[in-house]
Amino acid sequence: MRLGEAAAAPYRLSWPNVTAGRYQLIARAIDNLGAANDSAPVAVTVGSLTPAAPRIGSYTRQPDGVFKLTFTGEAGWSWQVEISADLKTWTAVTNLVDAAAPVTYTDPESKSQGWRFYRIKSGP
């Protein structure tokens, strides 16, 4: 889309009927001699600001005692895996960005711990 060719600053852009999702937008300035320069990309989310809950694929304790969790999240979102021993105090253990493909998280410390609880939530 072109802005500024027939209008005066400040410029506005309307983008109707955009499909929900995440987009990276840039502004490109072109002078009368054809030289161009791009702005830094800006992330834009269209639609819900809350992703669908991640889908758990499997969770098992391996023969060596290590806990293994597989899940799939919604494309374009970051996810945070947290652990707790009491379901009150939660500690973030890893952040996964754009975890749309199946993701496996293993907790090697689980074999030397008592009960541990896990949750996955949209990232920071």
Q: Is residue 31 assigned to a domain?
A: no
Q: Is residue 95 assigned to a domain?
A: yes
Query: Has residue 16 got a pLDDT over 90?
Result: no
3-state secondary structure of 51: coil
Q: Is residue 17 assigned to a domain?
A: no
Q: Which range of residues forms the domain containing residue 83?
A: 55-122
Going by C-beta distance under 8 Å and a sequence separation of 6 or more, which residues neighbour residue 71? 54, 55, 56, 57, 79, 99, 102, 103, 105, 120
Kindly state the percentage of the chain with pLDDT values over 70: 85
> What is the average pLDDT value for the chain, to the nearest integer?
81
Q: How many domains does the chain divide into? A: 1
Q: Is residue 9 assigned to a domain?
A: no
Q: Is residue 89 assigned to a domain?
A: yes
Q: Is residue 43 assigned to a domain?
A: no
pLDDT digits (tens, 9 = 90+) for 52-108: 778 888 889 889 888 998 888 777 777 888 999 999 999 998 887 665 678 888 888
Query: Has residue 123 got a pLDDT over 70?
Result: no
Contact 84, 116 (CB under 8 A): yes
Q: Is residue 72 assigned to a domain?
A: yes
Q: Is residue 111 assigned to a domain?
A: yes
pLDDT at residue 84, as a whole number: 93
